[in-house]
Every structure is written in C-alpha cells, then in structure tokens.
Structure 1
Amino acid sequence: MLWFLLLFCGLSLADEGGNDPETQSCFPDMCNLLKEFGAMSEKIKSLETRLQESETRLQNSESQILELKNKEGTKVIFSTAVGEGKKHIGPFTTDTTLIYKTVITNIGNAYNAATGIFTAPVAGVYYFTIFFHAGWTHRTSLHLYKNSEMKLSTFDEDTVTNRTDNGGNAGYLHLQQGDQVYVRLFKNSHVWGNAGFTTFSGSLVTQM
C-alpha cells in the first residue's frame, strides 16, 4: 500500500507539473511524509526481528538453566548390608547375586532390596564400594558387575593362620539410564552376614 501511494505521488507530480502552485507545495510535502513513514516502517520491522531473536535466545537460556537445575536436583545415594544374622552366606555351588537386605539409606530409591540390584535412574558417573568380612574356612570372591560385565573384584583365600578375612574395592562407573549394578559371590566362597560387615554402597557423583 505504501509503495502504491508513493507511485501515485510521483505520477501526480508528473501530471500536475508546474500548473498549480498549490499542488507544487502540497504534493512534495506528502511524498516526503510517505518516504519518512516508509523508512520508519523498515526500522520497526528491523526492531521486531531483533526482538524475536532476543526472545529466542532468552528461551534457550531459560531451558539451559532449567536443565542445570534438574541435574543439580537429582540425588542418588544408597548404602546396604547383607544383614543375614550371625552366619555365613555361602558357599554355593554356583555364582550367586548377593542380596543386601539391610538398607541403611536409599535416596532416590534406585536400589532394590528384593533383588540386590541397583538401577541407574539417570545417566552419569557413579561411585561404588564393596566390602566384606568372612571367616577362614572358605575363600571369599566378590565381584561387582555393570550389566553383564565384571568391573570390580575383591578376593581372599582361606588360611588357617588368619582366622578372619576382610577386603573391599571401590571405583567410578559411567552409567546410562537403566544400567544395572550388582554384586556376585563366586561359587565355593562365602561372606559373613551379620550386621554391617559386608556392604554394598554407591552414589551419583555427576550427571551427564
């Protein structure tokens, strides 16, 4: 519409020429006004574009801040013990997943006391520890698994001279959401089940 008025203005000036003094003084003012209006419209469009870009950047920043807050808000910490009373667990004729029935803490509810399996609720780096106490009558062989892959081990042979055995291990694991971590007692080995001697613990260090 603006360009049509400018075109009309130019044609009117051409048609009228110098015949009418009033027209000569009127139409130039109108054309100048329309030109100024056109320049102002272009500036407004440019400002609208910049405003939209700023709004987009702001929304992206808000999304990133919200994502960081969610990551900071995820807490995963658990600590467990076998808790089978004053007796040994094992030895068994096959490798067996240990079920740590005594739950000391389970922030995030990622550890399942019925299965002995920890399931990562979010992707990240986790820290795990395993410790055991056992008698001397059988060896002890404990192994921490990520899914079906052995990651950490602790071992002690049976000895007559040393009537009590203690051992442990710890390490960091990079887990994806849904990965499972658990401890297996190898066949023909045992651990002491009383109180908090034989433990399995872990925590989320940083979310990825």
Structure 2
Amino acid sequence: MILSVHLLLFFCCGLSLAQLQNDSQTESYISQTEFAAMKERLEVVENLLKDSKTRIQVMFTAATGGNGPIGPYNTATTLIYRTVITNIGSGYSPYTGIFTAPVPGFYYFTFFYHAGGEHVVALGLFKNDQLIVMITDHASNYDTADNGGNAAFVQLQKGDQVHVRMGANSHVWGSIHQTTFSGFLVTPM
C-alpha cells in the first residue's frame, strides 16, 4: 500500500515536472520568436534610417537682395538672386542665378516677386531655354505695389538648368525678404 502511494505520488510529481518543463520550453520558444521579430523590425528601422542619411538632399532658397528696383532693362535678363538663404547640395549659383540639377529627378520650384506698379512685370521660370510657367502684371498709375508668385513640378536630368528670367522692360523690387527663388528635389529618378 505504501508502495502504491509512493508510486502514485512519484507519478504525479513527474507529471507536474514534465508540465513545468513543457511550459518553460513554450515560454522560451515564444521569447525566441518575439526576439526574432523584434530583431527583424529593428533591422528594417536601421535600414530606413541609413537610407534617409544617404538619400540625396537638394534644396535652395535665394533672394535678390538689395533694397531698390531691378530693371527695367531693354532685353530679357536672368534674375540673379544674390542672397542665399539655403543651398543644400550646392545646386544654386548666386553668381549666375542658375540652378543646375546635381541628380536626375522631380523637382519643385517657386518664385515670388514684389514690385512697384508703375512698370510691367513679366517673370518666367525656364528649364534650360524652355519656358515652364510665368507671372505677369500690367503697369498702372494707381497701383503702387504688386506681388505675385508661381510654382511648378519639373522633371530634370543631371545638368539641366533652371532659372527665372525677367522680360524686357520689366522690373522687380530687390529685397532679401520678398523677391525669392526656391527649389527642392522631391524624388530622385
């Protein structure tokens, strides 16, 4: 009888021990599975971070500078924005007023002006020598100030040039805050 009780007790303890080992193996397996999933997610985040650090960044903003009229001139003239505010990627030249694409891609450009109302305003955004978009305003004796702007998405190849050209007999007001030209790379190709 005592032997039967001992055998029964031994059998129950063995089952409990087997269940305990099985539970800890399951917990260990779940922990390893969760660890592998976390490791995989961490690798994805690290790759995204690495991509964002190595992604080519191109953006600029420049203003004409000065504090007075630019123009009117007898011929069309490339506006030179001498006051560089931002020039990441060094694509914009404050000496020529021309942005040169360092990489192929889709870019977004904006240009704004402030001018007196006594002269015509005609500004065009050009890709190489092709007009993309423009701004115009007529002369007026009663309108003392004009403001305008335009923008465009433009597909560029490496080396393509973008600039703002002021039409003949047109003018803008030179300023570090109002007459500006900006652009940035939206997505490389």
TM-score by length of 2: 0.71
Q: Tell me if the contact between 2:118 and 2:143 (Cα under 8 Å) persists in the aligned partners.
A: no
State the Cα distance separating 1:69 from its structure 2 match.
3.6
State the Cα distance separating 1:161 from its structure 2 match.
2.0
Aligned equivalent of 1:112: 93
Q: Secondary structure at the match of 2:74?
A: coil
Residue among 81, 106, 123 paired with 1:125: 106
State the Cα distance separating 1:167 from its structure 2 match.
0.6
Distance 2:85 2:163 in 1: 17
**1:186 equivalent in alignment to 2:140:** no
The aligned length equals 142
Q: Tell me if the contact between 1:131 and 1:168 (Cα under 8 Å) persists in the aligned partners.
A: yes
Distance 2:61 2:82 in 1: 11
Aligned equivalent of 2:61: 79
Distance 2:150 2:102 in 1: 23
Deviations 1:16-72 (A, max 9, x none): xxxxxxxxxxxxxxxxxxxxxxxxxxxxxxxxxxxxxxxxxxxxxxxxx9xx94896
State the Cα distance separating 1:108 from its structure 2 match.
0.5
**1:156 equivalent in alignment to 2:114:** no
State the Cα distance separating 1:138 from its structure 2 match.
0.5
Query: Which structure 1 residue ranges, 4+ long, deviate > 4 Å from structure 2?
Result: none
Bigger Rg, structure 1 or 2: 1
Distance 2:162 2:114 in 1: 21
Deviations 1:76-107 (A, max 9, x none): 01000000x22100000000001000000000
- Unpaired runs of 5+ residues, structure 2, are 1-46
State the Cα distance separating 1:160 from its structure 2 match.
1.8
Q: Tell me if the contact between 1:143 and 1:154 (Cα under 8 Å) persists in the aligned partners.
A: yes
Aligned equivalent of 2:179: 198
- Further displaced range: 115-124 or 68-77: 68-77
TM-score by length of 1: 0.65
Distance 1:151 1:71 in 2: 32
Percentage identity across paired residues of the two chains: 53
Using CA pairs below 8 Å that are at least 6 residues apart, which structure has the higher relative contact order? 2
